Structure 1
Amino acid sequence: MSLVTERPDNVAGDENKRGDRKRTRPWSSTLPLRTALPMMVPLGIALILFVVYPLIRLLWDSVTTGNGPGNYADALSSGAVRRAIGVTLLDSAVVMLLAVVGGTALAWAVRTSRHKWLKGLIWGAVLLPFWMGVVVKNYAFALLLAREGPINSVLLDLGLIRQPLELMYTPIAVVLGMTYTMLPYAFLAVFPSVGTVNLDLINASRVMGASQRGTFARVVLPLIRPGVIAGGAIVFAMAIGFYVTPVLLGGAQTPFIASVISDDIFRFFDYPRAAATSVILLVIALTTLAVTIKAVGLRAVRGGLG
């Protein structure tokens, strides 16, 4: 007597269909919610501890310590703070303009160049600042801008000047140092928009008789405008928080808000005014980003941030 039993054909067919469905399920890069949530827990804890809590504590201290809400009046009535805000906003605006123009030109060169060696050279020059420390970059500029540095030596040899120029501890030195640091951010923010430009439109514009400048202004610039605006906002929001570069290259001649905050904490022990000034700096940065998001959309800003 045989003990082997056969399953009905319909049962075997159902199992085969379920197996086929499991094997043919399409792959998705999106993690299931039950998998993503546990992975987000460490990041959420880190954000709460190192971002959310310090910001809330800073805002709370700015209105509860010292003169309370009057700390903001004390900060804005201080000549040192007002001068620092003016210098910070002006220099950051200049850096934003230079970085965006330079970053857009480099991104366009990478997009249109047919030479791989040139593209690699530009990418290497753009990424090099990311591999260097802040002190190293500023020390390099200090050597370049010194009285006996290469810039003054070349100008003297060419007979363009009769005595060395005082380039260090000037707004020019600060702007140059900050622009060198922020240029890669502007390039990476603009490059995604530049990469989507259809070069056939450029050829069509030239065939219709438009000049190179006219083609760039009327065809290319409208297409990459969201990336340019987003890149400018990102550079400006980051530039107003600079501390090391203004101190090393500008000294007391170019006080930034971060320098004034540091002096209030470590020299004058005026933490309430430092907290209020920090909140003012944060509000300026957040307002810049909010206006940019309103103008070009969140996707463009997220693309600029990578």
Structure 2
Amino acid sequence: MSTVYEQRLLGVAGPDGDSGLSPGDLAARYGLAVSGKRPSLAGYTRQLWSRRHFIVAYATARLTAMYTAAKLGQIWQVMTPLLNAAVYYLIFGLLLGTKHDIPNFIAYLCTGVFVFQFTQSAVLSGTRSIADNLGLIRALHFPRACLPIAFTVIQLQQLLFSMAVLATIVLATGEPLTYRWLLVVPMLLLQSVFNSGLAMIMARIGAKTTDMAQLMPFIIRTWMYTSGVFWSVTTFTGKAPHWVAVILDNNPALIFNNLMRYALMDSVPASSLPNHVWIITCAWAAVVGLGGYMFFWKAEEEYGRG
């Protein structure tokens, strides 16, 4: 008796010849949907926006817990980029002598290190954001884009803590406080959008190819060497082929570095920036930010499975 009932419920003709509804018809009649089905892009965006408080709270909690085991605690948020800057100053400024070609090399170097580390850390943590949080993904239902975006927010919070130190260094090395410092706000906003998109791209790739987390530090290091963090790219592009110079001059990491230097350092003239720099910066943020978001959304159903 139960077999006949189950067959009719599933839409299979029973022994008496009755034909029931198909599973698809039953699902449509009772408003059922596939578990974990990817929502539309607009619906996904609404879900993501509704969890904006979760993203900030999660990022803040992770940032607080990050240094709990260290005796200096949150001080490492500032000490890490400062120590990196000290190492690069020793190697490139003193041993290789690049400081002689750059006015106020200390401020130039520290600004490049702080700004590039924001992108570097966002990309590296974004690459591992899915693979390292499978337990959370499988236990709770939420837009998976929350994770790479949250890790980008963590790096932004770290940078904001460090900006006070960077401002002190810039002022201590003789740079004046000017109206150009206001440009820091739109620059960081555009870089955050760019970093979020890049983090989401790498999160999807890292979720499929776990070895990418091991490869990314080498890729990021190569990118850093071509981004003018501790040397002036113009010393090379002046002698390089035109197409190489165009690629290097439009490197987004270099543009973000130089924009921050232009904002904070009076010794960095507007002529050091490429033509239409703000249009280029907005284009990078829009293309990578929106493109990364859509790229990540397309694989929403696959995260945490397998």
TM-score by length of 1: 0.30
Richer in helix (by share): 1
Structure number with bigger Rg: 1
Q: Which TM-score applies when normalising by structure 2?
A: 0.30
